[in-house]
Amino acid sequence: AGPRPVTFRTLDIGGDKVLPYMRSIPEENPAMGWRALRLGLDRPGMLRLQVRALLKAAAGTDLKIMFPMVSDVAELKAARQIVEREMRYLRRHGHGEPSTVRLGAMLEVPSLLFDLDGLMTHADFVSVGSNDLFQFMMAADRGNNRLNGRYDILSPMFLRALRSIVEAAERHATPLTLCGEMAGRPIEAMALIGLGFRALSMSASSIGPVKAMLLDLNAGKVEERLLALLEDGASAGSLRKELSALAQRDGLTV
């Protein structure tokens, strides 16, 4: 990566993410079960080893560690304590340590929407996991073919939730990004810019189309129009039609 920043996400297995060499436990609903940071906190030895390896490898450089599927701020605090313990271990044994260590949280569980100020206070940065956040908000498994297309990620309800996250991050000056499929789709990316997001994580194949749209985008105009739609109490199932019309008027390729 050279001088470019790198963020490491701690072990994020469970649900649709499996490791062949780790025995899985049968669960009725694995997407909402024993996974990600929950597993790490229940098996602290495993999490400590991963954190220790990251701290050693990043000696003398800046390190960013992100914890997946944080469900409440107490879990983030517990994870931070594990990192601090490993930092003390390295100092005690004479190992080098990173120049800076920043700890972030994935916001993909709706419960955090009710404690955004607490989250932004205790996280050094936040990344919105839009795929899981949307499916959990709608109680709709994104892998269920019968529900495909039933709910649109450009629904006013979900966009308002995303806007509340942006506002909380701005209040606390907490760096914010968003990952997930919507970040890599031009019309959804346009909406995200309108909501105030300025950092999007996407697959390499999506960069070209999204960049082409962004080069022609008037961010201030899109933000003004989108927020007006949301403040007017829009309750339709989707704002896709309105956003597509906006993009067409402005000559954007979406």
Residues 54-81 have pLDDT tens digits of 999 999 999 999 999 999 999 999 999 9
| Burial of residue 118, with CB atoms counted within 10 A of its CB: 0-12 exposed, 13-18 middle, 19 or more buried | middle
Residue 64 DSSP label: E
Task: Name the more confident of 25 and 248.
Answer: 248
Residue 254 lies in a domain: no
CA distance 96 to 214: 42
Residue 243 lies in a domain: yes
Give the distance between the most distant pair of CA atoms in the chain.
63
> What is the predicted pLDDT for the residue at 149?
83
pTM above 0.85, yes or no: yes
Average pLDDT of the residues in 132-141: 93
- Number of domains the chain contains: 1
Residue 111 lies in a domain: yes
Residue 48 lies in a domain: yes
Residue 14 lies in a domain: yes
pLDDT higher than 70, residue 217: yes
In sign, the C-alpha dihedral spanning 226, 227, 228, 229 is positive
Residue 1 lies in a domain: no
Residue-range definition of the domain harbouring residue 184: 7-249
> What is the predicted pLDDT for the residue at 146?
87
For residues 25 and 45, the answer to whether their CB atoms sit within 8 Å is no
- One-letter amino acid of 27: E
Residue for token pair 């669960």: 27
Residue 2 lies in a domain: no
CATH number reported for the structural domain that contains residue 208 in this entry: 3.20.20.60
Residue 109 lies in a domain: yes
